[in-house]
């Protein structure tokens, strides 16, 4: 791929948006390449966690490519939004856990990609914003949907209506990021977290991800029923037997299901 690089380090995969000259601005080619690569990764049993990051020291991604959008008409804009949504939906729903490693600007579409990841780790120099209204448009890669679910409607409205940037500490205070670490330690911190998650029962982790995600879309009663069903499914796995027998025998479990 030209603009998105994939590094396989089973059980982890590192996906890097690679346009540092324009702060990893997201044009349609970036999204199309990400869709292809995410589908490939989802089929890989040996990959349990995907770390998504941006090339260079300055940015995760400084948003959708304004140089491309300036030439787009209404249909082009809608097509772009559809591409953003398809990419974000893949990140959100894939069976692997996704971690955004945010080492600089995560603006607009860049911020929206982080919102679609399961977890977000930021370096101290990271900055987040949804500045679309400063350009006469609205966040449309899922930003109006996911931000309020993560940090609450009032806080999301303030960020989206002002377009203001917030720093990593403020993002942490709002619950937008899970952790803030020094820039030099960002990838190691992501890898350590990814390794820990990958050491757990893989199929159980993916069932938990699915149960949590569906809780946002269905009512509580149906969410609880789904949780019971997924637990029943977990009880059918080798890993459930192995995990519990290993605990009782005071030995490390050998998980295999995914």
Catalytic residues: 112, 132
Give the nearest distance from C-beta 55 to ligand COA in angstroms. 13
- Residue 105 binds to ligand COA (criterion: CB under 6 A): yes
Pairing of strands 166-167, 4-9: unpaired
- Residue 108 binds to ligand COA (criterion: CB under 6 A): yes
Binding to ligand COA (CB under 6 A) within 14-33 occurs at 22-23, 25
Question: In terms of CB distance, is 21 or 219 closer to ligand COA?
Answer: 21
Give the nearest distance from C-beta 131 to ligand COA in angstroms. 4
Question: In terms of CB distance, is 162 or 213 closer to ligand COA?
Answer: 162
State the number of binding residues for ligand COA (CB under 6 A): 15
Q: Candidates 1, 135, 231, 246: give the one binding ligand COA (CB under 6 A).
A: 135
Question: In terms of CB distance, is 17 or 101 closer to ligand COA?
Answer: 17
Q: Candidates 11, 54, 63, 243: give the one binding ligand COA (CB under 6 A).
A: 63
Residues in the site for ligand COA, rule: CB under 6 A? 22-23, 25, 62-67, 105, 107-108, 131-132, 135
């Amino acid at each position: 791929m030209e603009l998105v690089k994939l590094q396989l380090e089973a059980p982890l995969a590192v996906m890097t948006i690679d346009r540092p000259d324009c702060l990893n601005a997201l044009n349609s080619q970036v999204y199309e390449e990400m869709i292809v690569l995410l589908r490939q990764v989802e089929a890989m049993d040996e990959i349990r966690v995907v770390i998504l990051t941006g090339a260079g020291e300055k940015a995760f991604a400084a948003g959708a490519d304004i140089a491309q959008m300036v030439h787009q008409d209404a249909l082009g804009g809608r097509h772009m939004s559809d591409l953003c949504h398809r990419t974000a939906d893949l990140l959100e729903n894939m069976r692997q856990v996704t971690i955004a490693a945010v080492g600089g600007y995560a603006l607009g579409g860049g911020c929206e990609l982080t919102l679609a990841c399961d977890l977000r780790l930021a370096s101290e120099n990271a900055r987040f914003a949804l500045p679309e209204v400063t350009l006469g448009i609205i966040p449309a890669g899922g930003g109006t949907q996911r931000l309020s679910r993560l940090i609450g409607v009032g806080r999301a409205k303030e960020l989206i209506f002002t377009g203001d940037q917030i720093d990593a500490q403020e993002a942490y205070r709002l619950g937008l990021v899970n952790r803030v670490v020094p820039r030099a330690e960002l990838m190691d911190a992501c890898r350590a977290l990814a390794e820990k998650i990958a050491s757990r029962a893989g199929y159980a982790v993916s069932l938990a991800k699915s149960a949590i995600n569906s809780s946002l879309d269905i009512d509580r009663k149906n969410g609880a029923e789904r949780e019971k069903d997924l637990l029943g499914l977990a009880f059918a796995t080798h890993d459930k037997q192995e995990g519990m027998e290993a605990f009782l025998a005071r030995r490390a479990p050998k998980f295999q299901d995914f």
